[in-house]
């Protein structure tokens, strides 16, 4: 029989409808599948490149065979593996054509040649030209009566850093970019799903029926919770696949940092989602038809784009960028920028905590304003409702 419907139950019922409707929709399954495939391709590509590119095969002829020690030394200096085979010119050319050799090194002083099939790997070029230059220089110095080792020592520059060099910097960078991409994707995707849901209820007029039994704030809260949960599930599934895949293939060797990045991504997703979903919902409630929605939610993309672009373009080269540090404290920018900085290992804990507190304060303010806008405009159909009017008027 009918029982009093508590606010909690009303919100739960709405959230469950949003969740099941979204999860069962074709677009959700297809979207998730496509993203997983893209992820898998990336992982496969990275591990392929990782295993392939650091080794080369080089053919030498009788005239260049003596340079092998110098070649090997130059390869070692560049962290590369070099397999050197001595062949005659004709065999070498055939093997280059077949792909058995990456390149054939021939010639003599003044006329060195490096023959590749259609291109020569730039790293291999560096190794060979480095070795040749070194040998030429050493021979010239010896001929001039100088000690090559002593000359080299004079030109040596000692490189040092004040803090210990982070050997995992490259991996942290990848983590940070992945975290920023995932958060950006989730916030934009599920934020606009909230806006679309609000407009769907307005344009189909079902909202009037709903609001005759539950309060606007419960409908809004249920919608945000339900869709937010779908976004969270997607984020977790993708992260799990990404983490397991990249740890298994050896792309990532820092499970602790990766787990930390995942936890921080989840925390920031939740904060960012409440912040942005409220704004998206308010924007959705201002219009009556899906066609009008794009122009209204476009401005919301800017505060999401700015930190995202910053995180993937500026931070990788300059993790301690001052502007980046400042921006990561601004609530609308924090959800993508702060976790990216944290994943790079350049955001101390106190910065993260301060940004979390600031974002929570912002959420309180934004949610109150958004609920007011939503309540005032969700039943108004026809022309678009002005923002100022929506904030002021009373239904």
- Which positions lie near another protein, rule CB under 8 A? 1-5, 10, 13-14, 17, 21, 200-201, 204-215, 379, 381, 394-395
Q: How far, in Å, CA of 295 to CA of 183, rounded?
A: 23
- Beta carbon nearer to another protein, 7 or 348: 7
- The tally of CA atoms less than 13 A away on the side-chain side of residue 309 is 7
| Closest of 272, 354, 345 to residue 308, by C-alpha | 272
Q: How far is CA 137 from CA 77, 128, 148, 301, 329, in A?
A: 17, 14, 8, 58, 54
Smallest separation (angstroms) from another protein to the CB of 251: 41
Residue 381: partners with Cβ closer than 8 Å, 6 or more residues away: 202, 205, 288
Distance CA 144, CA 150 (A): 13
If the CB atoms of residues 38 and 395 are measured against another protein, the closer one turns out to be 395
User: In the bound complex, what is the minimum distance in angstroms from residue 214's beta carbon to another protein?
Assistant: 6
Q: Which residue number, 126 or 381, has a Cβ lying nearer to another protein?
A: 381
* Angstrom distances, CA of residue 146 to CA of 3, 123, 129, 151: 99, 30, 22, 8
Closest to another protein by CB, 117 vs 215, is 215
What's the min distance (Å) between Cβ of 212 and another protein?
Answer: 4
Reduced to 3 states (helix: H, G, I; strand: E, B; else coil), residue 113 is strand
- Residue 393 CB, shortest distance to another protein, in Å, is 10
H/E segment holding residue 307 = helix 290-309
Instruction: For Cα atoms 328, 334, 340, give the angle at the middle one, nearest 5 degrees.
Output: 75
Which residues are CB-neighbours of 322 under 8 A, at least 6 positions away? Answer: none
Least distance (Å) from another protein to the CB of residue 277? 20
185 vs 211, beta carbon nearer another protein: 211
Judged by CB, which is closer to another protein: 7, or 255?
A: 7
Phi/psi of residue 2, each to 5°? -70, 135
Distance in Å, CB of 202 to another protein, minimum: 9
CB of 382 to another protein, least distance (A): 11
Count Cα neighbours of 258 within 13 Å in the Cβ-side half-sphere. 20
Q: How far is the CB of 11 from another protein (least distance, A)?
A: 11
DSSP-derived secondary structure letter, 114 = E
CA atoms of 130 and 74, how far apart (whole Å): 6
Closest contact distance (angstroms) between CB of 203 and another protein is 9
CB 378 within 8 Å of CB 198: yes
For another protein, give the closer residue by CB, 27 or 162.
Answer: 27
Nearer to another protein, 211 or 330 (CB): 211
Output 11 or 177, the one with its CB closest to another protein: 11
- Report how far apart, in Å, the C-alpha atoms of 287 and of each of 168, 200, 214, 293, 372 are: 49, 10, 21, 6, 15
106 has which bridge partners? 113
Distance CA 274, CA 293 (A): 20
Cβ closest to another protein, residue 43 vs residue 371: 371
**Shortest reach from residue 80's CB to another protein, in Å:** 57
Number of H helices, E strands in the chain: 15, 4
């Amino acid at each position: 029989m009918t029982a009093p419907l508590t606010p909690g139950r009303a919100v739960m019922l709405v959230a469950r409808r949003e969740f099941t409707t979204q999860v069962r929709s074709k677009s959700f399954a297809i979207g998730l599948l496509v993203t997983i495939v893209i992820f898998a391709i990336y992982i496969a590509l990275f591990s392929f490149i990782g295993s392939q590119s650091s080794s080369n095969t080089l053919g030498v002829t009788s005239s260049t065979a003596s340079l092998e020690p110098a070649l090997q030394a130059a390869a070692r200096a560049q962290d590369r593996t070099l397999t050197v085979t001595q062949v005659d010119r004709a065999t070498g050319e055939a093997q280059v054509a077949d792909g058995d050799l990456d390149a054939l090194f021939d010639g003599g002083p003044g006329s060195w040649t490096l023959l590749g099939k259609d291109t020569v790997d730039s790293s291999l070029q560096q190794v060979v030209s480095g070795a040749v230059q070194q040998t030429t220089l050493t021979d010239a110095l010896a001929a001039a009566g100088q000690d090559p080792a002593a000359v080299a020592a004079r030109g040596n520059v000692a490189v040092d850093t004040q803090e210990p060099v982070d050997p995992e910097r490259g991996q942290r960078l990848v983590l940070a970019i992945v975290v920023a991409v995932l958060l950006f994707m989730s916030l934009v995707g599920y934020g606009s799903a909230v806006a679309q849901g609000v407009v769907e209820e307005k344009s189909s007029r079902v909202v009037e029926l709903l609001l005759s039994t539950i309060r606007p704030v419960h409908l809004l809260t249920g919608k945000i919770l339900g869709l937010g949960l779908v976004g969270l599930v997607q984020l977790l599934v993708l992260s799990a696949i990404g983490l397991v895949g990249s740890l298994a293939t050896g792309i990532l060797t820092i499970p602790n940092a990766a787990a930390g990045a995942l936890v921080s991504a989840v925390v920031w997703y939740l904060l960012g989602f409440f912040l942005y979903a409220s704004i998206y919902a308010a924007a959705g409630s201002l219009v009556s038809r899906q066609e009008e929605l794009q122009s209204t939610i476009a401005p919301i993309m800017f505060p999401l784009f700015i930190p995202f672009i910053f995180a993937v373009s500026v931070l990788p080269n300059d993790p301690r960028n001052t502007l980046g540090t400042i921006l990561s404290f601004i609530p609308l920018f924090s959800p993508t920028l702060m976790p990216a900085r944290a994943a790079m290992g350049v955001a101390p804990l106190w910065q993260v905590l301060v940004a979390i507190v600031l974002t929570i304060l912002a959420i309180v303010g934004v949610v109150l304003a958004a609920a007011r806008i939503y309540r005032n405009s969700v039943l108004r159909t026809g022309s678009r409702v002005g923002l100022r009017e929506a904030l002021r008027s009373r239904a």
